[in-house]
Amino acid sequence: DAKTTQPPSMDCAEGRAANLPCNHSTISGNEYVYWYRQIHSQGPQYIIHGLKNNETNEMASLIITEDRKSSTLILPHATLRDTAVYYCIVRPRYDYKLSFGAGTTVTVRA
């Protein structure tokens, strides 16, 4: 009952923007979009989340389409340390858990 669809892998060049897509066509009105990443053998790290407006913080930007059926995480200037598995998660407001899928393995190349 996966709520999100992400490509299994993608490469990007160091210094360039990395655009990570996520499809969540069955999202409902009270569900947030969250992004986490997991560097190899470490615990996941929170990146950003949003409901319907675009969001930006020091790590990334989150662009959510107007119909909320898809979103894009943007890492503005990818570095080698951004190599990780990136998880897009849809979570209802006040729900108790996050449901992690397989994510997208992002490899940043020099």
Instruction: Decide if residue 32 touches another protein (CB under 8 A).
Output: yes
- Of residues 11, 19, 46, 109, which one binds another protein by CB under 8 A? 46
Binding span for another protein by CB under 8 A among 19-27, 54-62, 74-82, 95-103: 95-103
User: In the complex, what is the shortest distance from the CB of residue 98 to another protein, in angstroms, rounded to a whole number?
Assistant: 6
What's the gap between Cα 5 and its chain centre? 11
Write phi, then psi, for 78 (nearest 5 degrees).
-65, 140
User: In the complex, what is the shortest distance from the CB of residue 94 to another protein, in angstroms, rounded to a whole number?
Assistant: 5
Secondary structure (3-state) at 109: strand
The contact mask relative to another protein for 52-91 (x = CB under 8 A, - = no) is: -----------------------------------x----
How buried is residue 76: exposed, middle or buried, by Cβ count under 10 Å (0-12/13-18/19+)?
A: exposed
The closest of 36, 43, 109, 102 to 73, measured between CA atoms, is 36
User: In the complex, what is the shortest distance from the CB of residue 76 to another protein, in angstroms, rounded to a whole number?
Assistant: 21
